[in-house]
Amino acid sequence: MKVVIQPRDERTQPARIVPGYPQTPLRNPQQPLVKRAPTLSELTGPLEVAQRVQLLGGDIAGHGDKQAIGQLIHLKLRVVDEDGAPVGGTVVEVWQANGAGRYIHPGDDDHAPADANFYGAARVVTDASGSLELRTVKPGAYPVPDTHGWWRPPHIHFSVFGRVWLSRLVTQMFFPGEPLNESDVILNALQEPTARNRCIARFVPSGGNALVYEHQIVVRGRVGTPSL
């Protein structure tokens, strides 16, 4: 199968250098890009990612006496290509802050309490319909260090493995109606409102004991989900 690495669509991707986001100058090239042909391993690997990595269940909210603190949410995620066809059998990695806005990471400071009953990460494979489900708690907002008042809105990070190393998509999902969405430097690095909207989940009234959200990740194309 011939693999085509599509060029970046600047209309639907975040600005490379974002004022107020001090890491962006460090993460983006300072010089013009140098074109080179991808190597064979870059175009063919990895094979069968799901068999190579340890899968972690999509239920990370805990049970019984060991339930994570926060609003229980049930996220129904679907991964599709630019034609809306399901991307089944792909590995999706998920990570997020706990209900108080703190990550399980040594680099996170102690601005908010840790939650021993919340693991904060999952690695799940989509089914034949491109779907997966995640039972978790809604992540809290958190302040970004050294930015004089920038708070990240609640969000969940996703990494979707493509067929080859070069086609991995790393993005974030936001929640509808969050006031901090309006001022988030990362979400608003996307110039087009339609591109921003593609990063915001849809709330589904359910009446159950969990808040239900649906979200779709489009792995490529003009309506592709932005890399964040």
Q: What three-state secondary structure class fits 167?
A: helix
Task: Using the structure block, give the residue that is written with the tokens 């600005």.
Answer: 15
Active site residue 21: no
DSSP assignment of 119-164: --EEEEE--TTSEEEEEEEPPPPEEPTTSSS-EEPSEEEEEE--SS
Active site residue 16: no
Q: Which residue is catalytic, options 74, 78, 102, 103?
A: 103
Active site residue 142: yes
Q: Which residue is catalytic, options 135, 157, 163, 168?
A: 157
For residues 167 and 205, give the distance between their C-alpha atoms in angstroms, rounded to a whole number: 34
Active site residue 152: yes
Under DSSP, the state recorded for 4 is: -
| Paired strand residues for 159 | 93, 170
Active site residue 157: yes
Q: Which residue is catalytic, options 74, 123, 152, 198?
A: 152
Q: Which residue is catalytic, options 142, 196, 198, 215?
A: 142
Q: Which residue is catalytic, options 74, 102, 123, 155?
A: 155
For residues 144 and 108, give the distance between their C-alpha atoms in angstroms, rounded to a whole number: 10
Active site residues: 103, 142, 152, 155, 157
